[in-house]
Amino acid sequence: MRLRPLPSAALGLALGLAGSLASGAAMAQGGPFDNETTTELARLCASPVPTERDFCFGFMLGAGQFYTEMLRAEVIRPLACPDPVPTIEEMRLGFIDWVAANPEAGDSRAVDGMMRAAAEIWPCT
């Protein structure tokens, strides 16, 4: 079955709604991901607390699945080209190291920092 690209308006609406829901939940609860920044995600990924590390894994897996579906639908071009595909643990550690080496990216949105890290760690040549 061939996937059809989502119309840009539908994609924008879906992403906007998801962002609003996530932001609302974070504001209602207060916590370590209130601002949804790259630095906050890196702290959660580096945390020894299982629930914080699980949040990191969930964030990476969710963003990764969305990225994969956008590739499959031919809506975007590849940003990263790992070969072989890294484990989630390799991705987590690579992200933590990348953020430490690129502190200027700390205030960027977490998903942007994660994608920039992947693109630099596993560039497409």
Q: Terminal CA-to-CA distance of the chain, rounded, Å?
A: 29
Instruction: Read off the pTM.
Output: 0.74
8 Å CB contact between 119 and 79: yes
8 Å CB contact between 32 and 40: yes
What is the Cα–Cα distance from 51 to 13, expressed in whole angstroms? 30
So where are the chain's domains? 35-121
pLDDT of residue 30: 73
pLDDT of residue 72: 96
pLDDT tens string 71-115: 999 999 999 999 999 999 999 999 999 999 999 999 999 999 999
Q: Stretch 9-37: mean pLDDT, rounded?
A: 56
8 Å CB contact between 73 and 4: yes
8 Å CB contact between 95 and 42: yes
